[in-house]
C-alpha cells in the first residue's frame, strides 16, 4: 500500500511507510515460536521414550528380539540388558524434562 499523505483527494488511509520493519520482527517472532514448539515436541518425545523404556520392558524386549532374529543373531534377555534399559529410560526422562523446562522458560 502506498502513502497517501499530501495527495489531494486521496482516501484517509494511514501512512504505511516503514511498516516493513514491524513485519520483519513479526516473522522473527514466528520463527522463535516455531523453534520453541519444536523443542517442546522433542522434549515430549524424549519423555515418552523414557517412559516406554521404564514401563514396557516386554514390548522393548520383543522389538529387540525381532531385530536380532532379522539379522540372524540369537537373543537372550540378561540382567545387563534390563539394567541398560532402565538406565537409558531414566536418562531419556531426565533429558526430556530438562529440555521441556528450558523450552517453556525461554518462550
Give the tens place of pLDDT for each residue, 70-92: 999 999 999 999 999 999 999 99
50 part of a folded domain: yes
Instruction: Name the grid cell of 37.
Output: 514448539
Element (H, E) at 89: helix 79-105
pTM exceeds 0.85, yes or no: no
Distance between first and last Cα of the chain: 33
Domain that holds residue 78: 38-105
Domain count, the chain: 1
Residue 75 in contact with residue 62, Cβ under 8 Å? no
Share of the chain above pLDDT 90, in %: 61
- 22: three-class secondary structure by DSSP: helix
CB atoms within 10 A of CB 64: 14
Asked if residue 15 is part of any domain, the answer here is no
Amino acid at each position: 500500500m502506498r502513502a497517501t499523505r499530501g495527495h489531494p483527494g486521496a482516501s484517509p488511509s494511514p501512512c504505511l511507510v516503514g511498516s516493513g520493519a514491524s513485519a520483519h520482527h513479526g516473522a522473527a517472532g514466528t520463527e522463535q515460536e516455531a523453534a520453541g514448539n519444536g523443542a517442546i515436541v522433542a522434549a515430549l518425545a524424549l519423555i515418552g521414550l523414557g517412559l516406554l523404556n521404564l514401563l514396557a520392558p516386554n514390548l522393548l524386549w520383543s522389538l529387540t528380539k525381532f531385530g536380532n532374529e532379522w539379522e540372524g543373531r540369537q537373543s537372550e534377555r540378561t540382567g545387563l540388558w534390563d539394567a541398560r534399559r532402565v538406565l537409558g529410560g531414566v536418562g531419556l526422562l531426565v533429558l526430556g524434562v530438562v529440555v521441556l523446562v528450558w523450552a517453556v522458560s525461554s518462550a
